Structure 1
Amino acid sequence: MDFLNDGIKVFVILWALIDPVGTIPVFLAVSKQHPPTDFSRLAFRAVCIAWLVLIFFMTTGEFILNAMEIPLSAFQVSGGIILFLFALTMIFGESKPEEEVNMAKSFKDTSVFPLAMPSIASPGAIMGIVLLTEKRSASFEAQLMVAALMTVILLITFVLLYSSKYIDRLIGDSGASLLSRVMGLIICAIAVKYVLDGIKLYFQL
């Protein structure tokens, strides 16, 4: 039961951080610069690049921290603060779709930037994936679960992007913006928890 509950919690966290629905308006803006025949290829390429970026940080992020002699407590607090600021921009600033649609207007290889990064593999998703797979608090099985759930969410992201024209007719840009702001609220709560856990760990040392 705990494994199931942990899986649900991790899925919700990763869904909020990756925010597949919020990527739809970005993808629609990006796809206008490409011929219709490139529609599925663009979505697949962006999701694959995002997966590689997240897997890279999942496998090497903690190693880099250890090499720099950065304690987990410091990373949890700093990571929580960064996630919190990231979430505030989603809630009070331009929402994720609005901000990244503007980015899409000035770059040629849009499958990499801003689609794969920072829309899918966002700074918040990178930070969250490192924290969720930290070896001293997550077993090898838990790390595999995080990797599997991340892959599932990215597959869902591909399906949503592939069906984005139909979904956009249903919810529109305003609907995606609203959902993005709700995800920002969830990320705020996650960020505060990371900060509190980091402070608690620091005073236990």
Structure 2
Amino acid sequence: MIDFLAVFIVFFAVIDPIGTVPVFIAATRGYDAKAKRRIALISGLAATLILLFFVVAGELILKAMAIPLPAFQIAGGIVLFLFALSMIFGESKPEEEVRLVNKYHETAIFPLAVPSIAGPGAMLAAVLMTENARVSLWQQVQISGVMIVVVILAIFLMLMASKIHNLIGNAGAIVISKVMGLILAAVATTNTLAGFKSYFSL
């Protein structure tokens, strides 16, 4: 048996369902309520499949390609940082929002499924916490179950985000987007620096 509470806390921290809400609001400003619901469900499903893929094959792929885990963490941090910059300096004109209305599938995958839910930290945690050398198959199934519960919680919070949006409006969503971008930039920098530290400690 695994320590369910400890595993839940780890995945809650790296997936950050609460932190996904402002990203969802900012990324879906130009969509109607129905499209937002579909985006939330698609992003949650996609994130689940991605994280399960890393549970099953992540370690094998990295080893087969001779990629150390810290290098993966550095790359993930850089990608997250680039997304954070797009949130801070990205286009927010109404015309851009209209152009995105029929592209909710793309929005669901990026930036919501990746990197907001299944970000580099979550992918790394999925690989490290199910390391084949020290975790049995049954324990890997249990860990995966806890991980899916956290993703479901993120989906639920995204589905509730429309009510939050109604309260704060588009102007509030823009402000949240900029602030969240700064926070994500800091998180990405921390991940990258931690990756460099781990890499040079090998």
TM-score, with length taken from structure 2:
0.67
Q: How far apart are residue 40 of structure 1 and its match?
A: 5.7
Equivalent residue number for residue 122 of structure 1:
114
Instruction: Provide closer, same or farther for how the CA distance between residues 144 and 199 of structure 1 changes in structure 2, counting only shifts above 3 A.
Output: farther
| 3-state SS, counterpart of residue 194 of structure 2 | helix
Moved more, 71-80 or 16-25: 16-25
Rounded to whole Å, the distance in 1 between the matches of 2:91 and 2:25 is: 13
Q: Does 2:50 correspond to 1:53?
A: yes
Change (3 A) 1:83 1:102: farther
Report the Cα distance in structure 2 between the residues aligned to 1:50 and 1:137, rounded to whole angstroms.
Answer: 17
Q: 1:71 aligns with which of 68, 74, 77?
A: 68
Residue 168, structure 1, aligned to residue 165, structure 2: yes
Q: Does structure 1 conserve the Cα–Cα contact (< 8 Å) formed by 2:84 and 2:185?
A: yes
Q: Separation in 1 of the partners of 2:55 and 2:96?
A: 24
Deviations 1:76-119 (A, max 9, x none): 222222222222222x21279x9994663343xx3x3222x014
Q: Could you tell me which residue of structure 2 aligns to residue 185 of structure 1? A: 182
Equivalences for 1:7-86 in 2 at 5 Å?
Answer: 8=9, 10-15=11-16, 19-24=20-25, 26-27=27-28, 29-31=30-32, 43-86=40-83
| Structure 2 letter corresponding to 1:81 | I
Contact 1:17–1:128, Cα closer than 8 Å, also in 2: no
Question: Hey, what does 2:124 align to over in structure 1?
Answer: 131
CA distance in structure 1 between the partners assigned to 2:130 and 2:152 by the alignment: 27
The 2-side partners of 1:143 and 1:182 are apart by 37
Question: Distance between the aligned counterparts of 2:56 and 2:181, measured in 1?
Answer: 26
Which ranges of structure 2 fall in alignment gaps of 5 or more residues?
Answer: none
Q: Following the alignment from structure 1 to structure 2, what is the Cα–Cα distance between the partners of residues 203 and 39?
A: 43
Alpha-carbon spacing, 1:31–1:79, altered in 2? closer, same or farther (3 Å) = same
Aligned partners of 2:71 and 2:195 also within 8 Å: yes
Asked whether the 8 Å contact 1:77–1:198 carries over to 2, the reply is yes
Evaluate the alpha carbon distance shift between residue 24 and residue 81 of structure 1 in structure 2; reply closer, same or farther with a 3 A threshold.
closer
Question: Which 4+ stretches in 1 moved above 6 angstroms?
Answer: 3-6, 136-139
Bigger drift between 15-24 and 63-72 goes to 15-24
CA-to-partner distance for each residue in 1:133-175, whole Å, 9 max, x for gaps?
33289775799668625x3453344334444443222111222
Distance in 1 between residues matched to 2:55 and 2:99, nearest whole Å: 26
Contact 2:7 2:143 in 1 (8 A): no
Amino acid in the other structure paired with 2:68: P
CA spacing shift, 1:133–1:39, aligned 2, 3 Å: closer
Q: CA deviation at 1:66?
A: 1.7
1:154 maps to 151
Taking only the aligned residue pairs, the percentage that are identical comes to 33
Aligned-pair distance for 1:14?
A: 1.9
Q: Confirm or deny: 8 A CA contact 1:77 1:196 kept in the other structure.
A: yes
How far is the alpha carbon of 1:65 from its aligned partner?
1.8
